[in-house]
Amino acid sequence: MSLTFAHRQATSSELRANLALSGLTPATVERELGLSHEQFETLIDMTMQAKPHEVWLLRDFLELAVREAGREPAPYSVLTPEMREAARRWFSRSRRPGG
């Protein structure tokens, strides 16, 4: 699964929106997911070095955190439930980020 530059930009904006809605700080997310600050920045910026399975884990973590904060998550244009099935075919099950 390869994302275009526009897809990566949109996904980064959507991840950042959900980070804001969650009320969590980057440091909290890093600690909870076992990420270094550099790993977190790579994922939230959706750079070419971002590992797809780690992006999905961040996406799911933020979506859950937003719901636990009593809010509705911002929708994703690329990381949709339908794309999750395609991603499962492309990528094997993964470990936790940083693990």
pLDDT at 89: 60
Q: Are 86 and 52 in contact (CB under 8 A)?
A: no
Residue that has been written with the tokens 């980020």 in this structure: 97
pLDDT at 99: 43
Per-residue pLDDT of the chain (99 residues; tens, 9 = 90+): 577 889 999 999 999 999 999 999 999 999 999 999 999 999 999 999 998 889 999 999 999 999 999 999 999 999 988 787 766 665 554 444 444
Q: Are 11 and 62 in contact (CB under 8 A)?
A: no
Encode pLDDT of 4-14 as tens digits. 889 999 999 99
Exposure string over 62-75, b if 16+ CB within 10 A, otherwise e: bbebbeeeeeebbe
pLDDT at 83: 80
pLDDT at 90: 58
The whole-model pTM stands at 0.84
DSSP letter, residue 78: S
pLDDT at 44: 97
Q: Are 47 and 5 in contact (CB under 8 A)?
A: no
Neighbours of 79 (CB within 10 A): 22
Exposure string over 19-35, b if 16+ CB within 10 A, otherwise e: bebbebeeeebbeebeb
